[in-house]
Amino acid sequence: MALDRWIALSVLLISIAYGYAAFFTMDGSLPPFMQRNPIWPSTFPKALSVMAIITSLIILLGFEKGSGGPKDGEINYRRLGDYKIGQATALLAMMAAYALLLRPAGFLPSTVLFLIFGAIVLGERNYKILIPIALFAAGFIWYLVQVVLGIFLRPWPFFLGV
């Protein structure tokens, strides 16, 4: 069995377990006043599990495959060494580091560093444009979340006390 079908099988099993939890266990503890609502807290998990089950079954049964070998834009699993696996791995590692540093380092420094180093890994070398855009993007997102939405988001490291 091909790699994509093994992945589809694992996604199918996870989706079935998630769907079981969404359909049969999530709504049991709802208070009586919420039981008459048209949308419950489990509505999105139910829809997500059904869509994931359908999608993984389509891949598992091979309905998405055409005839012939891989076409342009598709991944050829026999030539994985030709792709930029190092860049993808570095970006995944940086995403994990960003998630771990978000609270202790604060939103602004960790986001600016992630945007700058992520762009460098992807090949951007124009630092005169990269750094101001990263600073503006992180500041703008912080402003939207903190001021407009009213959700507290620590901008600086905890030891600064700001």
- Token code pair at residue 133: 């855009």
Domain ranges, ordered by start, for the chain: 3-82, 85-160
Please report, as a single letter, which amino acid is at residue 138: A
Given CA atoms 78, 82, 84, 86 in this order, what sign does their dihedral have?
positive
Phi/psi at 71 (nearest 5 deg)? -95, 180
pLDDT digits (tens, 9 = 90+) for 117-159: 999 999 999 999 999 999 999 999 999 998 888 888 888 887 7
pLDDT digits (tens, 9 = 90+) for 16-52: 999 998 888 877 777 777 777 777 777 899 999 999 9
